[in-house]
Amino acid sequence: MKGLRGTIIILFFSAAVWGKKMRWCTVSEPEQRKCADLAKALVAALTSSAVTAFGRLSCVRAYSKADCISKIRANKADLVTLDAGEVYSAVKQFGLTAIAKEIYTDGGCILAVAVVKKSTSLDIRTLQGTRSCHSGVRWTAGWSLPLGHLLSRNYLPWEEEQPLSQAVSIFFNASCVPGAGTMALSLCFLCQGLKSYNSQKNFHCETSHSEPFYHNQGALRCLTSGAGDVAFVDHRALDSIEESEKDEYRLLCTDGSHSPLSNFRKCNLGRGPGWGVVTRQNNRKIARKFLLASQAMFGWRGKERQRFQLFNSSVYGTKDLLFSDVTEKLSVFNEDMDISLVLGLDYVALLKGLGHEGSSLEDSVVRWCCISHAEQKKCEQWAFSIKSDPLVCVRASSMSDCIEKIKKDEVDAVSLDATHTFIAGKCGLVPVVTEYYGAKCIFTQGEGHFETKDLPTVYGVAVVRRSSRNLYFGTMNGRRSCHGHMYSPAGWVLPAKHTLSTEHNNSASCEPNKVYSEVFWKGCLPGGQGNLCKVCVGGTEEAASKRCSDNHNERYYGNMGALRCLVGDPSGKSYGDVAFMEHHNLESNIENLNNSRWAEGWLAWDFELLCGDGGRAALTEWRSCNLGAIPPNTVMTRPVLTARIYDFLMKSQEATAAHADSEFHMFESQQYGESDLLFKDATQCLVHTSHMDYRSILGEEFYSHTEHIFNCTHSDILEFCNQDVCSIF
Ligand SMILES: *[C@@H]1O[C@H](CO)[C@@H](O)[C@H](O)[C@H]1NC(C)=O
Ligand SMILES: *[C@@H]1O[C@H](CO)[C@@H](O)[C@H](O)[C@H]1NC(C)=O
Ligand SMILES: *[C@@H]1O[C@H](CO)[C@@H](O)[C@H](O)[C@H]1NC(C)=O
Ligand SMILES: *[C@@H]1O[C@H](CO)[C@@H](O)[C@H](O)[C@H]1NC(C)=O
Ligand SMILES: *[C@@H]1O[C@H](CO)[C@@H](O)[C@H](O)[C@H]1NC(C)=O
């Protein structure tokens, strides 16, 4: 066959009764050869079997993946396989559509790893000024995940006005990032492809196998040849390193340590979606059929695989031609899927955070999650009180809804109670700061932030009216209860750990909802259902809401709400016998009750605590008479935003401290008639915890107890998070 290069091979055959010719876009000579072999194999297979529909394939040679995208848009080619980062651009910027994704032996996701030579002294924290090799620009493992990690730890400085590529070009001394040619000179400095002024013949720094440092193999070559100090590739590339040479390399782990290559599951920079196939909208149905037919013939279990192997490039001398060689099968979508379903919410949010679509006004705004009318009012005053960064208050219906909205990139941050911090952590969000309830905040000058060795807890307590005689732990059957809110540590997690009634001792604490609905006659657990909503009263005026909503619009929500629930509403109908809440600010909440005219004349003296051992004690005895410690609330966000949210909170904190006489106080809520709005009222300051993992903030005891509970309690929000294609963790 003559003139393969730059030409289109068209193969006709008699059996093709219909079917548009498919044109595959290739980016190198070996890829063009593999494609031509596929075309031949299709003809041969189709003439020997009776399959007729998809016999005509031609191969269109382009000089880069970006060129492929243009050719497909211009109807000069039909199909190409792309890294997930390129898939996103192809769909969002160029109007193409994703029709399939590669599935590997361990699923559809890849792990980003940073490979160095064993002899190096570098670690993940000291990459500034080094020479870097990347599989491709905006690629998942070669660019987005590692840069997202460096940004989340604040190792990589990034001014909001500048494009990320510029920050990267300043950070590394020199790099080879195939595809970054137009962004910054130093990003292509290490590349070795031939240069030409004719764009068709220029391979320098292109996303083409003609650039020796292109793709996973190329980035590793860049490292092994000594051109670079570190290579950012995906874990699938590690297999290609000779067994005998594996010990000469190490992975950089996020904790600053090194690890052998085989440890990539533990030592990596995050998970992201693998490669996918794109085409034009109007071509998608026939292209899907073409892929299904090709896979049925030439996939690993294909009927015709002795003729041709779709996922094997070894005879062409280059890896990963047309598809990744480690592909086990293609998952061809049988309907149109939104890009965030194809690539996962975490990943799409990461790309937006990295400015994949270009920067927008949104980038400089912090969107805080508010769950009620009262929080919205406080948040708006906060926004008004700070001049530095614009703060936007976004309304959600509950803390769980905030987590969902953060994942969907509709909100950026929120302060969550310990149980919701657990959930958010499972959902791939990360800590920024933690509320500090100690006596005095210590500002570490050198580090430039508030730090602390230990994070003081609050305590869960069970409060009753002094006048309720014969009410103790163990005898709560048939009583009325007040629980703060769904999943709240004090109202939901801790009480079930104790013996509520003779039938319900702590061995039954695995499903709190079941325990409470069986033990109590009725109660108010905002966000719950059935008899545990019957005591709730809903909201009025601007905060009007249905009964039992999972936010302060339900007047029995939270610590203040549980107290209101205990004394009952002014009509005297809806009240509880026991309220599960946090000990902090209890006395001032009782005072507030009187001042708000909700229930006049109640004094601290009118209440008592129930101790877990069956006794009773005065409110002041919470240290010895409590249901357990509660880890502090933590502000959680998407990983890529940690540095920005931290910066914003520190500025807010300083501004409010500097104007102590101002109207707005971050950690007070009484003037809005509620408690614990946005932050707990017990907060003294916000301490830096973005270097910690949420599990260590929660502490092992709380963490494993909560895990135990959610192992047998269904939760919509955890289910929502588990659906994500590749949760970052
Ligand atoms: C960065 O590159 C310059 C030359 O371009 C060299 O002099 C310098 O030593 C390099 N720095 C590091 C940390 O490698
Ligand atoms: C890939 O193809 C080569 C050459 O045909 C063959 O030797 C090799 O076994 C194939 N690899 C797999 C995994 O089947
Ligand atoms: C705890 O409750 C279970 C049933 O719910 C019962 O079988 C068990 O004996 C109880 N244990 C104690 C110590 O009361
Ligand atoms: C309760 O409020 C009333 C007026 O609203 C006030 O006169 C009274 O002193 C308050 N009681 C307490 C204990 O604060
Ligand atoms: C919860 O379930 C997971 C997965 O089945 C298991 O690994 C873990 O140990 C369980 N945790 C607890 C505390 O029961």
Residue 673 falls in which region: left (phi positive, over 0), alpha (psi -120 to 50) or beta: left
Reported as a single tens digit per residue, the pLDDT across 197-237 is 887 788 899 988 889 999 999 999 999 999 999 999 999 89
Residues whose beta carbon lies within 6 Å of some atom of ligand 5: 704, 707-708, 711
Task: Please tell me the distance from the alpha carbon of residue 316 to that of residue 728, in angstroms, as a whole number.
Answer: 34
Q: What percent of the chain has pLDDT over 90?
A: 71
CB of 603 within 6 A of ligand 4: the answer is: yes
What would the mean pLDDT of 618-638 be, rounded to a whole number? 96
pLDDT at 447: 61
CA of 327 to the centre of ligand 2 (A): 14
CA distance 466 to 590: 14
More confident residue, 133 or 44: 133
Residue range 650-683, pLDDT digits in tens: 988 888 777 777 788 999 999 999 999 999 999 9
Q: Please name the residue whose Cα sits nearest to atom 11 of ligand 2.
A: 312
3-class state of residue 196 by DSSP? coil
Residue 337 pLDDT greater than 70, yes or no: yes
* Residue burial 131-142, b: 16+ Cβ < 10 Å; e: rest: bbbbbbbbbbbb
Q: For residues 23 and 18, what is the distance between their CA atoms, to the nearest angstrom?
A: 15
Lowest mean pLDDT among 17-21, 29-33, 185-189: 17-21
**How far apart are the CA of 707 and the centre of ligand 5, in A?**
7
What is the pLDDT, as a whole number, of residue 10?
36
Pocket of ligand 1 (CB under 6 A): 129, 173
- Name which residue leads in pLDDT, 161 or 559: 559
Query: Using one digit for the tens of pLDDT, what is the confidence trace for 280-324?
Result: 999 999 999 999 999 999 999 998 989 999 999 999 998 899 999
Q: Is the pLDDT assigned to residue 604 strictly greater than 50? A: yes
Question: For residues 224 and 216, what is the distance between their CA atoms, to the nearest angstrom?
Answer: 12
51/158: higher pLDDT = 158
The answer on pLDDT for 85 being more than 50 is yes
Write the CB contacts of 34 (distance below 8 Å, at least 6 apart in sequence): 26, 313, 316, 321, 322
User: In this model, does residue 11 exceed pLDDT 50?
Assistant: no
What is the structure's pLDDT at 4?
42
Residues contacting 441, CB < 8 A, separation 6+: 450, 452, 684, 685, 687
Supply 479's token pair: 């009583």
Task: From 385, 337, 266, select the one nearest 653 (Cα to Cα).
Answer: 385
Please state, in angstroms and rounded to a whole number, the distance separating the CA atoms of residues 200 and 181: 14
Q: Is the pLDDT of residue 3 over 60?
A: no
Q: State the residue for tokens 């297999």.
A: 239
CA dihedral 421, 424, 426, 430 (to 10 degrees): -90
- Band (456; pLDDT cuts 50, 70, 90): very high
Q: Other CB atoms closer than 10 Å to residue 573's CB: what's the count?
A: 9
Which pLDDT belongs to residue 504? 81
Q: For residue 355, what are the CA distances in angstroms to 85, 144, 572?
A: 12, 10, 56
**Ligand approaching nearest to the C-alpha of 588:** 4
Least distant ligand from the CA of 706: 5
The two three-digit tokens of residue 23, written as one number: 């044109």
At 486-532, the pLDDT tens digits run 999 999 999 999 999 988 876 666 899 999 999 999 999 999 999 99
Report d(CA 675, CA 558) in Å as an integer: 7
- Contacts of residue 366, defined as CB under 8 A and 6 or more positions apart, other chains included, come to 389, 390, 391, 392, 412, 413, 644, 645, 648
Query: For ligand 4, what atom is nearest to the CA of residue 591?
Result: 14
Is residue 351 a contact partner of residue 610, using CB atoms and an 8 Å limit?
no
312 alpha carbon to ligand 2 midpoint, in Å? 6
The confidence score (pLDDT) of residue 6 equals 36
* CA of 508, closest atom in ligand 3: 5
Check residue 257 and give its pLDDT.
95
- Does residue 541 or residue 1 have the better pLDDT? 541
- pLDDT for residue 614 is more than 80: yes
Q: Which residue has the tokens 């016999």?
A: 55
The answer, yes or no, to whether residue 279 has pLDDT greater than 80, is yes
The bound ligand whose nearest atom lies closest to the alpha carbon of 506 is 3
Tokens of 675: 């408690």
Ligand with smallest separation from the Cα of 596: 4
Residue nearest to atom 10 of ligand 3 (CA): 505
What is the token pair recorded at 728?
């970052």
Cβ count near 74 (within 10 Å): 9
Residues of the chain with CATH 3.40.190.10: 2-104+274-347, 109-271, 365-437+632-713, 458-630
Out of 497, 503, 505, give the residue to mutate to test ligand 3, the one with the largest number of ligand atoms within 8 Å of its CB.
Answer: 505
> What value does the mean pLDDT of the chain take?
90
Which two tokens mark 396?
């959600």
Q: Work out the end-to-end distance of the chain between its first and last CA atoms, rounded to an integer number of angstroms.
A: 49
| Ligand 1 site-directed mutation target among 130, 173, 175, most atoms within 8 Å of CB | 173
pLDDT on residue 49: 57
* Average pLDDT of span 82-93: 94
Ligand located closest to 300 CA:
2
Architecture of the domain delimited by 458-630: 3-Layer(aba) Sandwich (3.40)
Question: Is the minimum distance from the CB of 505 to ligand 3 under 6 angstroms?
Answer: yes
Residues 206, 361: Cα–Cα separation, whole Å: 31
Instruction: Decide if pLDDT at 357 tops 90.
Output: no
- pLDDT at residue 16, rounded to an integer: 36
503 lines ligand 3 (CB under 6 A): yes
Question: Which protein residue's CA is at the shortest distance from atom 12 of ligand 5?
Answer: 708
Report pLDDT for 448.
64
pLDDT the model gives residue 14: 32
Q: Which fold has domain 365-437+632-713?
A: D-Maltodextrin-Binding Protein; domain 2 (3.40.190)
Dist. CA 589 → ligand 4 center (Å): 13
In this prediction, residues 467-487 reach a mean pLDDT of 95
Handedness of CA 592, 598, 601, 607 (dihedral sign): negative
- Residue 34 gets which letter from DSSP? H
Over the Cα atoms of the chain, what is R_g? 30
- Residue 636 Cα to ligand 5 midpoint, Å, equals 24
- Identify the CA nearest to 463 among candidates 312, 575, 332: 575
Question: From the CA of 174, which ligand is nearest?
Answer: 1
The residues near 469 (Cβ < 8 Å, ≥ 6 apart) are none
Most confident of 333-342, 534-543, 614-623, 655-664: 614-623
Nearest residue (CA) to ligand 2, atom 3:
314
Q: At 439, is the pLDDT very low, low, confident or very high (cuts 50, 70, 90)?
A: confident
Half-sphere exposure of 375 (CA within 13 A, CB side): 28
Pocket test for ligand 2, best of 37, 300, 309 (most atoms within 8 A of CB): 309
Tell me which of 16 and 519 has the higher pLDDT: 519
Indicate the helix (H) or strand (E) that contains 413.
strand 413-416
Q: Using the 8-state DSSP alphabet, how is residue 441 labeled? A: P
Q: Which protein residue has the closest C-alpha to ligand 2 atom 6? A: 314
605 Cβ below 6 A of ligand 4: no
pLDDT the model gives residue 655: 80
Amino acid 239: pLDDT: 86
Looking at residue 475, its pLDDT comes to: 93
Atom of ligand 5 nearest to the CA of 707: 13
pLDDT tens digits for 698-713? 999 999 999 999 999 9
Question: What does the chain come to in residues?
Answer: 729
Q: What is the phi/psi pair of residue 533, to 5°?
A: -115, -10
CA distance 641 to 177: 24
Give the ligand at the shortest distance from the Cα of 302: 2
CATH homologous superfamily for the domain 109-271: Periplasmic binding protein-like II (3.40.190.10)
Whole-number Å distance, alpha carbon 364 to ligand 3 midpoint, is 56
Instruction: Indicate whether 5 pLDDT > 80.
Output: no
Ligand 1 centroid–CA 204 distance in Å is: 22
User: Which residue minimizes the CA distance to atom 5 of ligand 5?
Assistant: 711
Give domain 2-104+274-347's CATH superfamily: Periplasmic binding protein-like II (3.40.190.10)
Q: What are phi and psi of 523, to 5 degrees?
A: -170, -170
